[in-house]
Chain A
Amino acid sequence: MNDVEGALEPRLTIGSEQLALLEQLSNTIGVSGHEDAVRSLVIEKIRSRVDDLQVDTMGNVLAACRGTTAERVKVMLAAHMDEVGFIITADEGGGLYRIERVGGLVTNWLAGKVVSVGRETLPGFIGTVPIHLLDESDRGRAVSMKQLRVNLGAQGAGRVSLGEVGTYATRFKVSSNTIFGKALDDRLGVATLIELINHAPANIDLLAAFTVQEELGLRGAGIAAYKMTPDLAIAVDSTPAYDLPVWDGSENTRWNSRLDDGPAIYVADRGTISDPRLVRHLVQAAEATGLPYQLRQPGGGGTDAGAIHRQRDGIPSVSVSVPGRYAHTPVMVARISDWQATVNLLYLALQRMDRTILDRSDDDYR
């Protein structure tokens, strides 16, 4: 027996079908500004499930699933399709290319990795001077972008053009409850939105925005929100989990979020204070249904909500993220259970939404 109210409500499950979708999304390359492949995949998956589908001038996918009840609240859900990566800036001949980063790629993970480059997703690698040939003074010195080259092999000369992009060639992997993969930021969000479209609640108009260029400063979400004019918005993203030991064994006070603690609800990030009414709604939905949740550590970072909430005459916004370690590196680590709880928290919270959610009473989220 479970006496938690709502414990018997239908739940969504992350099974092999959902993991296969996430695998496909994770392995697809969609560096900011070049989201085409991800966009095609998203459209293929949702086309038959939505009432309206548009691609806007920047490449955002704007979809709508209209509810059936009266007095529906218009809820925008945003997940960004793009990922960080690199862009080819010079062809040095012999299959060697210089690169610059696109978005906040963590540069000290680049050396010695296999990458996929250009429209043809050519295999290549980022080489390094062998440790044996390094001067003592260079050992341990952080490698700068200037020193790094993408190498496409003996026949690689002229195979890609300046301006083409690439990223890590990491292959998605599942090990019991754990997911390893690139671009889980924010393909986890994209997969979540697709799952919610497949189970769209009748009591709201679900406006799903699959956005572009989030990693370049939330550029796609703003215009998406302007067009959609929702009553409120939820950015669905992935947030870093820094739940590792501190080098000197002291207490970790800067964990941001933690794996296994469930969806991370944002109270505040670098520039956005979440709407307290929406924070409260999510917290109450989680508590009423016995779902785990965590409040993301307030502070830096940002999501599409940062651009959405200031559109037009203001759109109350909040963010919910699946915690994931090592964002913007070749491989992120996340938990299937956290993802499933995130999908369900949104699913159940959306079902509990009506216009009264926007009644102003007090601003304390607790």
Chain B
Amino acid sequence: MTIVDSLNGDTVENIKGLLRELVQIPAPAGHEGRVRQAIQEIITPHVDSIKVDALGNLIARKGRKAADGRHILLSAHMDEIGVIATHIDANGFVRFTSVGALFLRYLPGGHVRFLDGARGLVGVNIEPGQTKFPSMEQMFLDVGASNRQDCPVQVGDLAVFDRPMLEIGNRVVGKSLDNRTGVAVLIEVIRSLGESPHTFTFVFSVQEELSRQGAMTAAFASDAEMAIAVDVTTSGDTPQAARMAVSLGGGPAIKVRDQGMIADARIVRWMADSAEQAGIPHQYEVLELGTTDAQMIQVAREGIPSGCLSIPLRYLHSPAEMVDLNDLAQTYALLTRLLTGKAAF
């Protein structure tokens, strides 16, 4: 698949550059300060106003509404899943629990980095004859300590996966691509946004991986007329994957429904029509497990009609999530078109 002609040739490189920078900033849910600072520095020159709200959402405004324009809210969450230390044992091993939906199967052997820089790896103890996958209680972090006193970590410290980004063919592999890809695409859209009849509220939200409190409170504070979340979705194109009609490389997935919401039908149609008119490859997403910021935005105050543009992603919530660069570019293209054209209603 090729990138549609209208794309600036630098777009992919720009997004990749952003991603490389963003994925290495640790930002577990509730502790998004560092990634927020980075985003704020990048987008401040490109927006009309910018602020940080009570819970830590980064909220930027841009544009003046024309007669046929709308106020559109776009949300991409900044946070990522992580672990938090619950106990330091006598031998200096760190016991932990999850922040967000951590899948145990991805943990053993993985590396983590704490907010203050301490590094560790996930060890696991398996009983002889054990056939079940080990529980979190059987896992621990080895941070190079040999007793409680010399352990650099204390109870309550947070850590995230620690792994550099890797390019494999036309694909990118890394930690926290959920949702730094959404963040990178939205930043690139903001940086390159041309004339538009609409006014925008861009929300880089906190705590999506918990229960989307950031989007919920940001939407409460907004008077937007419609909203789009930019996030990732899982795919059904790996061996024996759960059935799902989303594949890597198939273009942005237009969310029809997920576990938490049914996307506004007018917005779904708007996204599909725009993609077809522009020849942007796209697919439809019906996600049975998981949801996005849009779930909360949709029901804020008297309601904000919402949809979601999803970037297909494999190995969700693992230290090696994978996306296709073409999908990022096409998502960028569709989003740009949506924001500069006529609104859904």
Q: Which residues of A contact B (CB under 8 A)?
A: 251, 253-255, 267-268, 271-276, 295, 297-299, 309-316, 358, 360-366
Question: What is the CB-to-nearest-CB distance from B25 to chain A, in angstroms, rounded to a whole number?
Answer: 12
Q: Is the CB of A363 within 8 A of B86?
A: no
With both beta carbons as reference points, the residue of chain B lying nearest to A366 in the complex is identified as: B116
Q: Is the CB of B156 within 8 A of A310?
A: no
The 5 closest A-B pairs by CB, nearest first: A273-B30, A363-B33, A314-B217, A313-B221, A314-B55
Assuming the contacts A271-B210, A298-B156, A364-B115, asked whether A276 and B86 have C-beta atoms less than 8 A apart, the reply is no
Question: What is the CB-to-nearest-CB distance from B297 to chain A, in angstroms, rounded to a whole number?
Answer: 13
Q: Is the CB of A313 within 8 A of B218?
A: yes
- Cα separation A176 to B86 with both chains bound (whole Å): 31
With both beta carbons as reference points, the residue of chain A lying nearest to B207 in the complex is identified as: A273
With both beta carbons as reference points, the residue of chain A lying nearest to B85 in the complex is identified as: A298
Residues of B within 8 Å of A268, CB to CB, are 30, 84, 99, 156, 158
Assuming the contacts A314-B54, A366-B116, asked whether A253 and B156 have C-beta atoms less than 8 A apart, the reply is no
Give the segment of B89-97, B165-173, B190-198, B229-237 that binds chain A: B89-97
With both beta carbons as reference points, the residue of chain A lying nearest to B83 in the complex is identified as: A298
Question: What is the CB-to-nearest-CB distance from A321 to chain B, in angstroms, rounded to a whole number?
Answer: 14
What are 6 residue pairs bridging A and B, where the CB atoms are less than 8 Å apart in the complex?
Answer: A253-B87, A268-B99, A271-B211, A298-B84, A362-B34, A365-B156
Assuming the contacts A276-B31, A299-B86, A360-B52, asked whether A267 and B156 have C-beta atoms less than 8 A apart, the reply is yes
Q: Is the CB of A363 within 8 A of B56?
A: yes
> Is residue B216 within 8 Å, beta carbon to beta carbon, of the partner chain?
yes
Residues of A within 8 Å of B207, CB to CB, are 273
Q: Is the CB of B95 within 8 A of A363?
A: no
Question: What is the CB-to-nearest-CB distance from B151 to chain A, in angstroms, rounded to a whole number?
Answer: 14
- Among B97, B154, B214, the one with the most A-chain Cβ atoms within 10 Å of its Cβ is B97
> How many residue pairs, one in A and one in B, have C-beta atoms under 8 Å apart?
101
> Is residue B29 within 8 Å, beta carbon to beta carbon, of the partner chain?
yes
Chain B residues with a Cβ closer than 8 Å to the other chain, count: 39
Q: Is the CB of B155 within 8 A of A298?
A: yes
Interface positions of B from 133 to 168, Cβ below 8 Å from A: 137, 154-158
With both beta carbons as reference points, the residue of chain B lying nearest to A231 in the complex is identified as: B54
> Is residue B292 within 8 Å, beta carbon to beta carbon, of the partner chain?
no
Question: What is the CB-to-nearest-CB distance from B344 to chain A, in angstroms, rounded to a whole number?
Answer: 25
Residues of B within 8 Å of A254, CB to CB, are 86-87, 95, 137
- Cα separation A268 to B83 with both chains bound (whole Å): 11
Interface positions of B from 10 to 37, Cβ below 8 Å from A: 29-34
Q: Is the CB of A364 within 8 A of B116?
A: yes
- Cα separation A276 to B54 with both chains bound (whole Å): 12
Question: What is the CB-to-nearest-CB distance from B157 to chain A, in angstroms, rounded to a whole number?
Answer: 8
Q: Is the CB of B213 within 8 A of A309?
A: yes
Assuming the contacts A273-B210, A313-B217, A313-B218, asked whether A297 and B29 have C-beta atoms less than 8 A apart, the reply is no
